[in-house]
């Protein structure tokens, strides 16, 4: 049996030193060592063989004798040589392996220490740094390593460079704009910066460091929140639709005076506000609108059908006669009616022929047989007040007084209704029969058309005061009139100055008046109640070299006891 055996598996060598004893080593190292040992052995063997041959030549018997003697003395010489070679090889491998293991062990001990040191420095930097971590973007702007202030400047500059003060909207050849300031468009840059800054500045140091490492590998882009005034944006877009060249024309109608103005609609486009609102917001948010008009999103809309039959039924109204009931006393005023002045078929033809255009349909007023003013005094059982002034019998002036008074006489004012002198009397013209008489112009007395009618308005003013009605509009003359004292008059000028009062009672009042025998007389009738007061009107005046100043009071009494007193006017007049 051989005492030394080599068994090779891949790169490992098992060397049997003795029976049952194996050593693990590297194949390459063993092979190198064996090669060296074999070379040395060969050399020694060669030298020995040469010496033996020389000896054998000189003494052949010696050769055989020596060999035999050697073999006899050491039968295991060959085996011992192999054993020595194997032991030397194993000692070398053990020494080299021990040295390599020591170096690796030291390296393995230093690597964690270095990594821990590097991680600690990295953690300390990320925790204490006053700048934003690397790998962070805000709206595409790299803010890595920037302070909050620098980051804000960079982002604001970027947004300003990629936006404008308004967004241009286009529909075919029509263009309009939406002001970003008007809709309060805003990017919440501060919140985005705070989010970026806090990415690696949590309370957990390990989390911060891992986050910083992650950002180095995978960048993050934070989008600032965009907001705007949604209600204002909606209103702005809605206001655009009527201005579109091809906008829809809605069917419509309205009454203006004695004319029905009707329009048969025409289909057209309007802004799709819900979709357009979101589109505008996205374009602003994406900064995709600078010097670049965006097309409007529109929808075609068909107008409602103009139903002339329904319009006629709504417009048409029969006149109603006025009447009253004595028990209980109740008053029902007359109402004018209204109707088409042409047939309904003619009106339909006119509207259909004018699609998208206004069409004027004439109307006529239907007069009741019994008007409100025709109701007799029996419907107004109580006299609420009366007042009179005297006038000089000047034919022209008297004519003017009578014309104005006749317009007012019999007028019924419903509860809550306001009486207007100019509206009831109408414009004072030559055609209406008015004459020239004395009037005040620029502080002087001159003849003018309808002179004197202010005496009618003044007398009515006093009657309204004593009836405790609410005065709505009243102005004094430039000079104190001859027919009444300072602070008690009421002037009127067509188209400029009016006298108005309101029926603040719960029942209609009726105005009766007359101009005859040098007296202008007014009476206000209605229904007396337990809540009525006795009224006293008084005025005080003072004079200067150029003016007269008056203060007028209204005092209320009930059952002979004063209830209140108030100043109702302060007037200034020029002196003659």
Who has greater pLDDT, 239 or 118?
239
Q: Which residues of 13-31 are buried (b: 16+ CB within 10 A; e: fewer)?
A: bebbbeeeeebebeeeebe
Per-residue confidence (pLDDT) for residue 219, from 0 to 100 = 80
Mean pLDDT score, 475-483: 95
Mean pLDDT score, 366-370: 95
Strands 294-295 and 166-171, bridge-based pairing: parallel
At 401, give phi and psi (nearest 5°): -60, -45
Confidence (pTM): 0.54
Per-residue confidence (pLDDT) for residue 444, from 0 to 100 = 73
pLDDT tens digits, 343-364: 999 999 999 888 888 999 999 9
pLDDT tens digits, 519-535: 999 999 999 999 999 99
Distance CA(87)–CA(76), nearest Å, equals 17
Tell me if 449 sits within 8 A of 431, measured CB to CB. no
Tell me if 208 sits within 8 A of 200, measured CB to CB. yes
List the chain domain ranges. 6-105, 136-240, 308-366, 376-574
Angle at 312 between CA 308 and CA 317, to 5 degrees: 175
CA distances from 100 to 32, 88, 105, 109 (A): 18, 19, 9, 14
Per-residue confidence (pLDDT) for residue 8, from 0 to 100 = 40
Confidence of residue 187 (pLDDT cuts 50, 70, 90): very high
Q: What is the mean pLDDT of the chain?
A: 83
Distance CA(441)–CA(443), nearest Å, equals 5
Q: Is the pLDDT of residue 51 over 90?
A: no
- Yes or no: domain 136-240 corresponds to CATH 3.10.20: yes
Distance CA(576)–CA(479), nearest Å, equals 7
- The pair of three-digit structure tokens given for residue 109, joined into one six-digit string: 């001990």
Per-residue confidence (pLDDT) for residue 447, from 0 to 100 = 85
For the chain, what percent of residues have pLDDT higher than 90?
64
Mean pLDDT score, 221-241: 94
pLDDT tens digits, 482-520: 999 999 999 999 999 999 999 999 999 999 999 999 999
């Amino acid at each position: 049996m051989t005492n030394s055996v080599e068994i090779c598996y891949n790169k490992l060598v098992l060397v049997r030193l003795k029976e049952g004893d194996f050593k693990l080593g590297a194949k390459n190292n063993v092979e190198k060592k064996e090669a060296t040992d074999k070379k040395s052995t060969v050399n020694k063997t060669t030298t020995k063989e040469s010496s033996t041959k020389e000896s054998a030549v000189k003494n052949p018997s010696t050769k055989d004798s020596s060999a035999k003697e050697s073999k006899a003395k050491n039968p295991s010489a060959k085996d011992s040589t192999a054993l020595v070679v194997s032991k030397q090889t194993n000692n070398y491998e053990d020494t080299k392996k021990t040295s390599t293991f020591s170096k690796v062990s030291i390296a393995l001990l230093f690597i964690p220490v270095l990594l821990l040191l590097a991680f600690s420095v990295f953690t300390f930097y990320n925790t204490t740094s006053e700048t934003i971590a690397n790998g962070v973007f805000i709206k595409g702007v790299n803010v890595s390593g920037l302070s909050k202030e620098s980051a804000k400047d960079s982002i604001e500059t970027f947004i300003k460079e990629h936006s404008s003060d308004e967004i241009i909207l286009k529909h075919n050849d029509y263009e309009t704009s939406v002001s970003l300031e008007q809709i309060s468009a805003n990017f919440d840059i501060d919140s985005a910066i705070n989010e970026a800054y806090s990415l690696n500045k949590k309370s957990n140091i390990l989390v911060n460091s891992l986050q910083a490492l992650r950002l180095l590998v995978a960048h993050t882009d934070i989008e600032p929140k965009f907001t705007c005034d949604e209600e204002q944006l909606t209103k702005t877009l809605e206001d655009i639709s009527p201005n579109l060249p091809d906008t829809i024309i809605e069917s419509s109608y309205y009454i203006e005076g004695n004319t029905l103005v009707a329009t048969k609609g025409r289909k057209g486009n309007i802004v799709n506000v819900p979709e357009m609102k979101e589109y505008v917001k996205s374009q602003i948010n994406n900064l995709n609108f600078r010097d670049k008009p965006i097309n409007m999103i529109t929808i075609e809309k068909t107008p409602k059908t103009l139903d002339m039959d329904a319009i006629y039924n709504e417009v048409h109204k029969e006149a109603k006669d006025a009447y009253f009931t004595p028990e209980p006393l109740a008053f029902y005023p007359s109402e004018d009616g209204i109707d088409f002045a042409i047939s309904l078929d003619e009106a339909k033809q006119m509207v259909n022929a004018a699609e998208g255009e206004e069409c004027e349909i004439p109307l006529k007023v239907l007069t009741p047989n019994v008007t409100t003013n025709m109701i007799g005094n029996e419907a107004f059982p109580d006299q609420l007040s009366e007042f009179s002034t005297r006038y000089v019998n000047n034919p022209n002036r008297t004519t003017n007084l009578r014309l104005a008074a006749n317009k007012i006489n019999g007028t019924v004012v419903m509860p809550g209704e306001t009486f207007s002198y100019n509206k009831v009397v109408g414009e004072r013209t030559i055609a209406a029969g008015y004459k020239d008489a004395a009037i005040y112009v620029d502080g002087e007395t001159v003849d003018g058309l309808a002179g004197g009618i202010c005496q009618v308005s003044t007398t009515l003013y006093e009657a309204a005061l004593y009836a405790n009605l609410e005065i709505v509009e009243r102005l004094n003359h430039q000079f104190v009139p001859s027919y009444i004292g300072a602070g008690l008059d009421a002037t009127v000028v067509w188209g400029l100055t009016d006298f108005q009062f309101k029926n603040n009672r719960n029942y209609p009042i009726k105005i009766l008046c007359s101009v005859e025998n040098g007296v202008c007389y007014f009476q206000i009738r209605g229904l007396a109640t337990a809540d009525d007061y006795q009224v006293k009107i008084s005025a005080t005046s003072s004079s200067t070299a150029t003016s007269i100043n008056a203060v007028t009071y209204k005092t209320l009494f009930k059952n002979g006891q004063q209830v209140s007193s108030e100043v109702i006017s302060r007037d200034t007049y020029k002196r003659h």
